[in-house]
Amino acid sequence: MHEMGIALQIIDIATASIPEKMKPAHVESILLRVGKLSAVIPDNLRFCFEVASKGTAVEGAALRIEEVPVVARCRACGCSWTLNGPAFRCEACGSGNIEVISGRELDIVSIELEEGSDFP
């Protein structure tokens, strides 16, 4: 539901990541890592991004979204496993004393500049 705000942040960060000496460059694609536990729906994000990026250096850029599984680690027995549903309990020993070690990512990994736009 808040994908528009996220899309605007992505546009800001991606635009600011274009090296000064390469401007004006066009961003062809943006690689994101989105955790499955984060409250972001990829399709909604793509739609918002498409609308909000009009007229910016990232207009038309493809969002490549790499989904990150939810992985937890048990503080009691030390084992780690991938969660496939909302059961936050250790699979091995049943302890609820666990920490989520991945799955909440919302990162911009890299941007890809269009060929030829390196040397305007």
Partner 1 sequence: MEIQVVKNVLDANLAVANQSREKFRRHGVFVVNVMSSPGSGKTTLLEKTLTRLASELRAGIIVGDVSTTHDAERLARSGVPVVQVNTDAFGGDCHLAAHVIAGALDSFDLSRLDLLIIENVGNLVCPAEFDIGEDAKAVVLSVTEGEDKPVKYPLMFRVCDVAVLNKIDLLPYLEYDRDAAVAYIHQVHDGMPIFELSAKTEQGMEAWLGWLREQVARKRSM
Q: Which of 60, 101, 109, 120 binds partner 1 (CB under 8 A)?
A: 109
Q: How far apart are CA 98 and CA 87, in angstroms?
A: 11
The answer to the question of residue 111 lying near partner 1 (CB under 8 A) is: yes
For residue 53, the minimal CB distance to partner 1 (Å) is: 14
On the question of a cis peptide bond just before residue 120, with omega within 30 degrees of 0, the verdict is: no
The answer to the question of residue 87 lying near partner 1 (CB under 8 A) is: yes
The answer to the question of residue 52 lying near partner 1 (CB under 8 A) is: no
Three-state SS at 85: coil
Which residues lie below 8 Å from residue 12, measured CB to CB, with a gap of 6+?
none
Is 93 assigned a ligand-binding role in the annotation?
A: yes
Q: How far apart are CA 101 and CA 81, in angstroms?
A: 10
For residue 79, the minimal CB distance to partner 1 (Å) is: 16
Is 26 assigned a ligand-binding role in the annotation?
A: no
Q: In what order do the strands lie in the sheet with 98-102?
A: 80-83, 70-74, 98-102
| Residue carrying structure tokens 């991606």 | 14
Binding-site entries for Ni(2+): 2
Q: Which residues are annotated as a binding site?
A: 2, 74, 77, 90, 93
- Which residues of this chain interact with partner 1, rule CB under 8 A? 1-2, 4-6, 9-10, 12-14, 17-19, 32, 37-40, 85-89, 95-98, 100, 104-113, 115, 118
